[in-house]
Structure 1
Amino acid sequence: MSKLTNLVLLIDDEPKIRRFIRAGFELHGGFSVQEAEGAAEGLRAATFNSPDLIILDLALPDRRGAEVLETIRSWSDVPIIILSVESNEEEKVGLLRAGADDYVVKPFGMAELLARSEAALRRYFKSATESPIVVAGPLSINLVDRTVLLNNYQIKLTRKQYSLLHILAKHVGLVVTHDELLEEIWKGNVRKNIQYLRILVRDLRQIIEPDPDHPRLLITESGIGYRLQARFGDVAKS
């Protein structure tokens, strides 16, 4: 841990738990704590405050903790420790596979949580450029709230159109292969029929490209896949 203070985002709707955890971290030193009572507040804080560690309760009033984990993992590798009253092994394994770094069962001791938090931070190498908002030319894609702006105006996309753009945005400037896109968007249900992908690309270009016949944002890499251009003015093949 290279910083003097690590910001912990604590998402839990129980005030007593929040007070207990805040006191433990602050007494230990080296941490500051931001509290969120629910999923929506927690996601806003995760988006704009760049925490170094998230402690996430599964039983939130406005959204399941597992869904919050999935949302954050769509754009960030920040360490996430799950809190739960359940010690179900199947659930624990599922959450760890979904991207949780650790799983702590209530009730727990503060010494245990501190040790697990420090271990998670040691394993994590924070990217200075990490952001939930990807900008590509006139496009701005918010990977958290799933909004897309084109020239500062919000545009509407179908679920599959957004899924395609989301995947490309996570790898902006890099090529994503046909097979990877087919698997992510259709989950193997179209037997890797590339024609489905070509139609989807064509339809998305009709929305985001000034001249869909000469694309400058959604670029074809012949025989390989597609790339979302990082800079609108770059010259690339269509």
Structure 2
Amino acid sequence: MPQTARILVIEDDAHIRRLLRAALQRAGHEVTEAGSAREGLSLADIEKPEVVLLDLGLPDRDGLELIQPIKQRSGATVLVVSARDDTAEKVAALDLSADDYVTKPFDTEEVLARVRTALRHRLSGNGEQDRIDAGNIRIDLAHRRVTRDGDEVHLTPKEYGILAELARRPDRVISHAQLLKAVWGPAHEDRVDYLRIAVRGLRQKLEQDTSRPRLIVNELAVGYRLLARPGAEGT
């Protein structure tokens, strides 16, 4: 049976709010709406939603400023749904701890799929598990061990570090800066070339076809995502 949840939609466009409400309610969720940042923060306090769909272009405050307060007040998973498609905006949202980013115009089925992923991760402890299975790949974080079809795969420390960061939050985009800071340290947050080389090595060891990666996928100019259920295209 699909998991249902309390979901808060913070969006100033009434038409989009109605569209999202209808889709979410059809999926069985309880939906609350807010048309401004002020109302959204108030409802986050009162309703304690599990998931918040957040627009960035709000009339009284930039939505980016709401991400951390929402997470601190309610512990909700924050999915940004915005017309801003600039790479810098996406990176800024993710670096502020947004859990995902959907660009308008959107397909409601995609939004529902992202919500299902968010709820699955909340159910399993915010996605932080000791062992993650992704197709024929098993990542054992407790023992720092990676296997492919049951055979151990030997990774460099940097390759393992990247894979572990992605595995702690599967199906979510982790920005280049976040990965570089975690694996190389704060002084190397802009060395995307380091990251690309290490990811290339990982793909050679883990992917069936490195020209069409289906495990570690690229979000162009933003970051990488580990697909816990490989099958989507990525480059």
TM-score (norm 1): 0.49
Q: Tell me which structure has the larger Cα radius of gyration.
A: 1
